[in-house]
Amino acid sequence: MTSTLAQQDLDHLFHPATDLRGLRESGPIIWSRGQGVYIWDQDGRQYLEGMAGLWCTALGYGEKELARVAAEQMETFCYGPLFAGRSNEPSIRLATRLSRWVPIEGARFLFGCSGSDANDAQIKLIRYYYNAIGKPEKRKILSRGNAYHGVTVATAALTGLPAFHRHFDLPMDDVIHLGSPHYYRFAEPGESEAAFVERRARELEEVIEREGADRIAAMIAEPLMGAGGVILPPAGYWERIQPILDRNDILLIDDEVVCGFGRTGQAFGCQTYGMKPATMTMAKALSSAYQPISAVAVPPFMYEAIEEAAGGVGLFAHGLTYSGHPVAAAVADRNLELMEERGLVEHAARMGERLQARLAPLADHPLVGNLRGIGLIAGLELAADKAARQAFEPSAKMGFKVAAACLDAGLVVRAIPGDIIAVCPPLIINEVQVDELVDKLSTGLDRVAATL
């Protein structure tokens, strides 16, 4: 059966974010079930899911309460759009609950299906707002190297990773990429962390001077970068960047798709790092990935201007068929309620301290050039020469070798280009499982090191 499914996969599926040529040679890994922090493949082998799927299964696998809510909602009212002033109870309840979570007083919530379409909507909303208040020239968006904001045409343009641009004719006009905040990789020889932050701040000021503050609408940023390599902002980074944006009337779009709902030890990454966002993007842990759903939090000053301008058009002409899908909204609402009932953000903060403490010795591993993390997320950047911060040749595919060795040891991690191993387990992980994760990660590193 497994071999038949594997062949059908190779014959008919188009895999996203995959080495398609390599897949043809290796074949797919087919998962069959999951429970808690563990998943099983079709051969019955168990793995600890050290990536929460794709940074998203916060409550872990097999949560019966979310399955119950989904089934109940499907039977009661399976679908209804939010177009033309129609509504549904789950969407109303979810928006109300989110208003108590986010640090934006009086926020309104625009629902979508993914982080990508939510960030795409962010661009449209920012443009709509500035057009509404008579500043149509403010339309450029600042992003950063190593950023990941999605895969639509617009959000892939915002993304600062070359593979997401090549052959897609990206990036595009009105997107300006600043330098990456990745101190370990992009600091100049002998440059202190404080000096690196100052250089990045000066770059921002110079770009604003060159482009004109009256032409820059917003900067989009993740509190810490996920898919770009688990890159934590260097000390003092946001304290230096935020005032520059404020002085120049440049709105901060906070992409919380990876960080949101407890990943960094607080409800949102912006709270962990002292950011002051105008708007926020949420997805992934919003429903613990049990249903596809995203949300954009919009402040009152933007909503009121958009409402007024839309009145002149006759309608606000944006929305998706599945915006506020009642099943997805019901699941997301119960997901957040379970987080509240179980104190999951506080639990994640405690387990995050244990994870970071257990990972700390791996900084001395011969393969690890840089270890970084906060809460229940971490990245290990591999290096051929630790002292010189020299990366391995890309052709060596060292990150993928380590990820494969970890898989053999019973642990799922993610190899990110640049030979970075990402770790991001479900927030429900306990102390024993944290220890199991680190032990298996150590085994994977050791097995690859032994082959060099």
Query: What is the rounded distance in angstroms from the CA atom of residue 394 to the CA atom of residue 403?
Result: 15
Determine the 3-state secondary structure of 220 from DSSP.
Answer: strand
Q: How many residues make up the chain in this entry?
A: 452
| Helix residue ranges per DSSP H, 27-132 | 52-55, 64-76, 89-101, 115-132
Q: Would you say 59 and 428 are in contact if contact means Cβ atoms under 8 Å apart?
A: yes
Residues ≥6 apart with Cβ < 8 Å to 425: 37, 48, 49, 50, 51, 52, 355, 376, 433, 434, 437
- pLDDT for 1 equals 54
Domains detected in the chain: 2-62+344-449 (3.90.1150.10), 66-342 (3.40.640.10)
Closest listed residue to residue 125, CA positions, set 264, 278, 269: 278
**Cβ-proximal residues to 159 (8 Å cutoff; 6+ apart), any chain:** 143, 147, 148, 149, 150, 151, 165
CA 59 – CA 82 distance, rounded (Å): 28
Number of other residues whose CB lies within 10 A of the CB of residue 399:
25
Phi, psi at 328, each rounded to 5°: -65, -40
Q: Token pair for residue 321?
A: 């068929």
Is the preceding peptide bond at 234 cis, omega within 30 degrees of 0?
A: no
Which candidate, 248, 238, 244, places its Cα nearest to that of 213?
A: 248
Residue 226 Cα to chain centre, angstroms: 5
Q: By the 8 A CB rule, do 243 and 89 touch?
A: no
CA dist 322 and 112 (Å) reads: 7
| Beta-sheet strands, E only, within 289-432 | 294-298, 368-374, 377-382, 411-412, 414-416, 420-423
Q: Which residues of the chain have pLDDT under 70?
A: 1-2
Pairing between β-strand 251-255 and β-strand 294-298 as defined by DSSP bridges: unpaired
The 10s digit of each residue's pLDDT in 350-407 is 999 999 999 999 999 999 999 999 999 999 999 999 999 999 999 999 999 999 999 9
Question: Over the stretch 203-247, which tens digit does the pLDDT of each residue have?
Answer: 999 999 999 999 999 999 999 999 999 999 999 999 999 999 999
Residue type for 344, please? L
Q: How far is CA 441 from CA 54, 378, 379, 438, in A?
A: 18, 12, 12, 5
Dihedral over Cα of 68, 434, 436, 365: its sign = positive
How many CB atoms are closer than 10 A to CB 74? 13
Helix (H, G, I), strand (E, B) or coil at 423: strand
Structure tokens at 419: 């030979």
Residue entry with tokens 């996203």: 16
Listed residue (436, 118, 89) closest to 260, CA to CA: 118
24: left (phi over 0), alpha (psi -120 to 50) or beta: alpha
At position 184, the amino acid (one-letter code) is Y
Beta bridge partners of 371: 380
Closest C-alpha to 253, from 285, 287, 298, 200: 298
In this structure, are residues 332 and 293 in contact, taking their beta carbons and an 8 Å threshold?
Answer: yes
Nearest to 378 by CA among 437, 435, 411, 422: 422
